[in-house]
Every structure is written in structure tokens, then in C-alpha cells.
Chains A and B, each alone.
Chain A
């Protein structure tokens, strides 16, 4: 069993070869989830913030969080382990792009949503770490950080040398996994002490972040030759699927796949926001009606 995926230039085969590092990370996540269900949730009162500077309303049902956790954990395992990780690290740029899109656009928001606010408060606390988190969760930090990280890890100058070793590949994966979480912090930070963007500003933020993949996508689409040596010189996985075909597919996944995930999120958020607005309006109307009835 290998530690982490890397480029080996060996002929591709479909024999499963899981990675210890990926299993450890997913195992740690599941252990945390199990601990929360078995022990942590039972002491909700103890863990809930009291007398603290709460800046965000806590939303989300237990069932919703559980579902998000299950899908998030499965997604995380899928992007970090064989076969997707193996393909992405040494054979196909398109597989690497699927990993990044799934992680950044689906797994990160799902896991952030799945994290109960009380647990986030327990882990981060209400002191200097919260102040750091508040800074990280501002769009002024999140967007440049995520953009720079994603551009760097998609740059051949960094990608090709890093993918050659397990450590380099691990470091690279760590960067874009972190970028995924940071990107969603301004709208999905689970800590109740962090003010999240809600409603219209959240939608504007999400539309704005969709600009990030444009630059690497542009180079991949319009380059005359394969830009990554790793994928160009790798043994072919599918006969006839050339390095250029792979690169073009990767660009399409980055731009179309990323947009698809994003617009699903946008639609969900818009509908939820509109629903809350309508409920609030209706409550106001009922209240006014009651007041006028009692006055008469």
C-alpha cells in the first residue's frame, strides 16, 4: 500500500491500490463524526456558546447535516484515494480536474455545512483563533488566497515537479483542499462567532468566485501543445485519448463542471433565501392583521 498518489510512469491498470494517507484523513474525519454523534451531541448545552459574540444565525437540521457529512466524507475519500487520485496524479489532467472540482465545489461546502456550530466553536474557541478565522472568512482574504492557490497548483511549473514524488503530490493536494475550504468560508463558515455573507451578498460572492477557474482553463483550452509534461508523457489510459484531448477535456471539466456545481449551489441558496424572505413577509402581515384585529 502506498502512502500518497504520485506520477510513476508505470502502465495503468485497474488493480485497486488504496493510499494510507487518504485512508487516515478520511478515517480521522469519520472518527470525529462518530465522536460527535456518540459523545459530543449529548452535551450540546455544554458546548453551545453562552455569553459569546454570536454573529451568525445557526441553520440546518440534524438530518441535513448528517446527509451532508455522509456525502462529504464519501466525496473526500473519492478524491483522495484510488482510482481518481492515481489517475489525477500521473495519467490524466481531466481526472485531476474532476478531483479539484469535486473537492472545491462539492466536498468543501458539504463538510462545512455538516459541521455543527457547537463543534466548530469547541474546536476553534472564542479567542485568538476565532479572530484568525474571522479574517480568513472575509472575501478579501478568501478570494485572493483561493485564487492564488488554485492557479499555483494548476501551473505546470509547480505541478510537474510536485507530482513526481509522494510528498510533493501530498503537499499539492493539501493546498487545493485548503483552498476549497477557504473559498467557502465567507458563506459557509460553521463557527457562530463568524459573520457569514447571507442572501444577496452571498450570491454575489459565489458568482464572483466563478471567475477564478477562468485563467487556468484559458491556458488549457488554447495552448497549442500539452502544458503538463506529467500527463503528456504518461502511458495512455484509454487508446486514442491523446494528451491534447485530455487537456481539452480537463479545461471543459474545470469551466463547465465547476459552473454546474456552482449554479446548483446558487439556485439552492436563492430559493432558500427567497423562501425565508416570503416567510418573514407573511409573518409581518399576520402580525399586522392581529394588531389591527385587537385594536378594533
Chain B
């Protein structure tokens, strides 16, 4: 009688090979599960941020800081390395990763050029980003970071001045939570009060450590790097 279930060595090996091939083909055929990582699109070698040419000027707006005091942006940041980020405290992904990476980078730079920038976090979700909540949120990341808020038109004016996308507040879910689309880049203003570079959301700690001291020293292009060295 023929045993239907008889497994020969050849069959076993064949089945194993077919399974392996199937796994490979299956993996190839499926949609790439990779991240929607923003490209750095850097025109100059050796920089993580994108060169802005002509550079951004500072928006002439007055925010309110997380202590409730007015924060006239141009005056308060005059001649200082300044990093401006528009986000929201309930952001589950980009904002905390970005801010934590930056905080770690500043720890790593420790002292010297680039070590003491003014880091400004503007809460675009005006309803939830109260001064108290921003203070608590940023305090968990880095005490030196400053939270700013303002009326929506003021924030919109600042964002429009910097040619960034305006925030979009989505419909709340059944629990009342909602997502906010916001500009995901940090604009870095050099001590010459101009924003020469905008950094995307995937900048790493080691890249900040490399770029911030150069920006603080007024270097923002690779050709300047060569002159400087």
C-alpha cells in the first residue's frame, strides 16, 4: 500500500526550499514597511539642514512665554543662536523625538560655540498648549527650552513669514483627542539674525553636535567651512 504521508528527504528539502522562496517572494511583493522619512535634500555636503537662500528674516511678532510674560521675538533673540520650532505638547511622535534628540545634543556639546542656543517651542494647538502645560512638558525634556504661545493669528503670521505650512487641527476622536499637522522643521537663526538653515525631523544627535557650533560661529555653507579651516 502506498503511504500518502510518507515524507522523503527530497520532499522535505523541496518543501523547505519552497517555504524559503515563498517567504522571500512574499516579502519582496509586499509594500515597503519603511518609514516615511523626510529626505534631508541638502544641497551642501556635510550639513544636515537645508540651506535657505535667501535666508529667512525674523518675524516681527510678540509671543507669550510659558511664564505668562511677553516675548518679542526679534528683541529677545537679537544676536543669539536661536532655534524655532512649531509643535504641540500632545504630539505623540515628531515633537518629543525632536526635542529629546536636541536636548541630548546640547548635553553632548556641553560648552563652547553652539552649547547655549535659545530653543523656542511654539505651541500651535492653542486650546491645549497652555503655558502651564508647556512648562511641565518642556521641563521634562530640558529646563532651558522656552515654551511660547500666542493668539492663532499671531502664530499664523509667524509661520507665513517663514514660508512654512500652516497648522491643521483634525477632528477629535470619541475620547476628544485630536491630531495637529504642524511644520516639522526647526529653523535655526544664526547670530547675524538670519535663518540660513532649516533642519528636518530626522536630524540626529551627532548631526546637531556637528552643525550647531558652526552656525553659532556664523558658518552656514560648506565653502565657508573651507575658508574657516
Instruction: Please give the residue numbers on chain A whose beta carbons come within 8 Å of chain B beta carbons, in ascending order.
Output: 2-11, 20-21, 24-25, 28, 35, 39-40, 90, 122-125, 164-171, 224-226, 229, 232-236, 239-240, 242-244
Contacts and interface: CB of A to CB of B under 8 A. Distances in A.
A26 to B, nearest CB: 12
Contacts of B96: 235-236
Contacts of B5: 35, 39
A287 B43 CA distance: 85
Give the top 8 A-B pairs by smallest Cβ distance, nearest first. A164-B34, A6-B33, A9-B35, A11-B92, A167-B27, A166-B33, A225-B205, A235-B93
Given A3-B27, A40-B7, A233 B33 contact: no
A122 B204 contact: no
A21 B204 contact: no
Contact of A9 (B19, B32, B36, B108): B36
Q: Which residue, of B33, B100, B104, B105, has the highest number of chain A Cβ atoms within 10 A?
A: B33
B115 interface: no
A21 B23 contact: yes
Contacts of A5: 33
B130 interface: no
Nearest to B93: A235
A165 B33 contact: yes
30 contacts: A3-B30, A4-B27, A6-B33, A7-B33, A11-B92, A11-B93, A24-B19, A24-B23, A28-B19, A39-B5, A39-B6, A39-B7, A90-B35, A122-B12, A164-B34, A164-B35, A165-B33, A166-B32, A167-B30, A170-B23, A170-B27, A224-B108, A225-B108, A225-B205, A225-B209, A229-B204, A232-B205, A233-B201, A234-B97, A235-B97
Contacts of B26: 3, 20-21
A4 B97 CA distance: 25
Interface in B1-53: 5-7, 9, 12-13, 19, 22-24, 26-28, 30, 32-37
A261 to B, nearest CB: 27
A38 B114 CA distance: 70
Among B5, B9, B36, B108, max chain A CB count under 10 A is at: B9
Contacts of B24: 167, 170
A234 B96 CA distance: 10
Given A167-B27, A224-B206, A242-B100, 15 more contacts: A2-B30, A6-B33, A6-B34, A7-B33, A9-B35, A9-B37, A39-B7, A40-B7, A122-B9, A125-B9, A164-B34, A226-B205, A229-B204, A242-B104, A244-B104
A173 B101 CA distance: 28
B202 interface: yes
Interface of B: 5-7, 9, 12-13, 19, 22-24, 26-28, 30, 32-37, 92-93, 96-97, 100-101, 104-105, 108, 140, 201-202, 204-206, 209
A225 B206 contact: yes
B97 A8 contact: no
A76 to B, nearest CB: 14
Nearest to A244: B104
B33 A8 contact: yes
Most buried by A among B13, B24, B27, B36: B27
A229 B104 contact: no
Nearest to B203: A233
A232 B32 contact: no
Given A6-B33, A165-B33, A25 B9 contact: no
A252 B158 CA distance: 46
Contacts of A242: 100, 104
Contact of A165 (B23, B34, B104, B209): B34
A255 to B, nearest CB: 23
A145 B7 CA distance: 32
A53 B137 CA distance: 70
A233 B204 contact: yes
Contacts of A225: 104-105, 108, 204-206, 209
Contact of A25 (B23, B37, B101): B23
Nearest to A168: B34
A2 B34 CA distance: 12
Given A9-B93, A21-B23, A166 B30 contact: yes
A129 B14 CA distance: 14
Contacts of A6: 32-34
Given A165-B32, A166-B32, A226-B205, A233 B23 contact: no
